[in-house]
Amino acid sequence: MNRTLTVAGEILPLHTPFRISRGVKTAAEVVTVAIAQDGITGRGECVPYPRYGENAESTIAAIEAARGAIERGVGRQDLLQLMPAGAARNAVDCALWDLELRLAGSDFAAALGLERPLRPIVTAMTVSLDTPERMALAAAALADAPLVKVKVDRSDPAAQLRAVRAAAPKPKMIVDPNESWTISDVRDLQGLMTDLRIDLLEQPLPADADRDLIGFRSAIPIAADEAVHVAADLDSLPDGYDVVNIKLDKTGGLTAALDLAQAARARGLDVMTGCMISSSLSIAPAWAIAATSSFVDLDGPLWLAEDRAGGVSAANGIMAPPRPGFWGGI
């Protein structure tokens, strides 16, 4: 087998700053992989995340370290042992999926038994962290969307949430503190979140403090994000979680993401599909998980000043899949 690996970093500017409790982002830094074989090329993309000790340089270095095995024909299952979970493996795994399906003349919907053609999905539209007044303005523009996700911190989450709900009274709502709350905050805000009809609370506590959730029964379902990367992490997940947020950059690709989704459901946990700020090349593989998820948060490309041609499109919180042939086979 004769393969050729190409890897590169890209900076993708945003049209609007994206703020969360950890800071502000004005561009997405992604790493792309292309694997060519027999005149066919498969593509993958990842988003290195500093929260997990990743950056573009370390991610590219990790992929380069695996170059020999990749070009000799390593398969996706062997890749799980060759590379650790994370952004680098995600880009390679997704490129291998794309390559394998194109070589077989198939597509991922057929391979995974999904409905064809792929239907549009409801995706959360994000209100990024800002002053309550500015968050209300952002929420007002999303008032008719089916699902809104609100980024908050510890400064005044009650005011932030009240402002958003007043401006957008109809949508279902996910609240994401990005690990910035304490268990006292979660307890104290239960009544308010119930009154505001919050549907999901995503990773309120730092992942290394989530033992505080043991035995806690929240009135609002709680999703594990930073606390769960791969299926093995479920063994140590506290019982206070109800949902697992699956992101391919955490699992290290679609192969491990499918394993995590199956394992989570086997334990009675619901599934959410999430993403980083990225292009549609990151979102297309995640569609395989999103198609059967209860919550979907794939609006990353919608923050870009310019997405990749043929990628996803969205109107009022309804996202259409990429054009046929964009990723995942024919």
Q: Which of 25, 172, 247, 250 is catalytic?
A: 247
Fold of 3-106: Enolase-like; domain 1 (3.30.390)
Kindly give the residue spans of alpha helices, DSSP state H, lying in the chain. Answer: 56-65, 67-72, 76-82, 87-104, 108-112, 132-140, 157-167, 183-188, 190-195, 248-251, 254-266, 280-290
55-77, pLDDT tens digit by residue?
999 999 999 999 999 999 999 99
Residue type, 86: G
**pLDDT tens sequence across 268-325:** 999 999 999 999 999 999 999 999 999 999 999 999 999 999 999 999 999 999 999 9
Active site annotation includes 151: yes
pLDDT of residue 34: 98
| Edge-first strand listing for the sheet containing 121-122 | 121-122, 318-320, 313-315
Q: Where in the chain is the domain with CATH 3.20.20.120?
A: 112-320
pLDDT digits (tens, 9 = 90+) for 179-192: 999 999 999 999 99
pLDDT for position 152: 97
| Lookup: tokens for 43 | 């593509």
* H helix and E strand count, the chain: 12, 14
Ranges of CATH 3.30.390.10 domains, the chain: 3-106
Q: Is 149 a catalytic residue?
A: no
pLDDT in tens, 96-151: 999 999 999 999 999 999 988 999 999 999 999 999 999 999 999 999 999 999 99
DSSP 236: G
Average pLDDT rounded to a whole number, residues 13-26: 92
- Alpha-carbon Rg for the chain, nearest whole angstrom, is 19
Helices 254-266 & 280-290 angle (0-180, nearest 10) = 30
Q: Residue 4: CB partners within 8 Å, gap ≥ 6? A: 35, 36, 37, 71
pTM (2 d.p.): 0.96
Q: How many CA atoms lie within 13 A of 181 on its CB side?
A: 27
Are 284 and 291 in contact by the 8 Å Cβ rule? The answer is no
Position 22 pLDDT exceeds 90: no
Strands 3-20, 23-37: pairing is antiparallel
Assess whether pLDDT exceeds 80 at residue 1.
no
Q: What per-residue confidence (pLDDT) applies to 234?
A: 98
The catalytic residue among 25, 149, 151, 170 is 151
What digits encode the pLDDT tens for the residues 216-234? Answer: 999 999 999 999 999 999 9
Fold of domain 112-320: TIM Barrel (3.20.20)
> Which residues are within 8 A (CB) of 217 and not within 5 positions of it... i.e. 6 or more apart?
240
